[in-house]
């Protein structure tokens, strides 16, 4: 289970990324954040976000119209 869960369902770009960035500040280094979104763009966005920031994208799931991501804070 992720340390923190962030629900950004119904929010559109760039809010999922911005809210996730904010939420990650409260996650300890090494801890995880689960993000639940409905914005289809978020799939590629979180991949790019993790590549650029160095955080790890542990999981990216699609269930119908809901996308969930688990991000590990690396620094």
Partner 1 sequence: MADDTNTKRMSMIVTKGTLDWAYPPFILATTAAAMGLEVTMFFTFYGLTLLKKKLDLKISTLGNPAMEMPMFGMHIGMPNLVSALPGVDAAATTMMKNLIKKKGVASIEELRSMALEADVKMIACQMTMDLFEYTKDDMIEGPVLGGAATYIETATKSDINLFI
Binding-site ranges for partner 1 (CB under 8 A): 10-15, 17-18, 20-21, 39, 48-49, 52-54, 75
Choosing from 7, 9, 12, 13, the catalytic residue is: 13
Q: 7 is written with which tokens?
A: 């629900």
Conformation bin of residue 36: beta by default, left when phi > 0, alpha when psi is -120 to 50: beta
* Cβ 52 to partner 1 shortest distance, Å: 5
Active site residue 50: no
Strand 32-37 vs strand 66-72: parallel, antiparallel, or unpaired? antiparallel
* Cβ 42 to partner 1 shortest distance, Å: 12
């Amino acid at each position: 289970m992720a340390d923190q869960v962030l629900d950004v369902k119904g929010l559109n770009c760039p809010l999922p990324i911005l809210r996730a960035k904010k939420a990650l500040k409260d996650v300890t280094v090494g801890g995880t954040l689960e993000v639940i979104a409905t914005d289809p763009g978020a799939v590629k966005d979180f991949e790019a976000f993790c590549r650029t920031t160095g955080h790890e994208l542990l999981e990216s799931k699609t269930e119908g119209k809901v996308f969930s991501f688990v991000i590990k804070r690396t620094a």
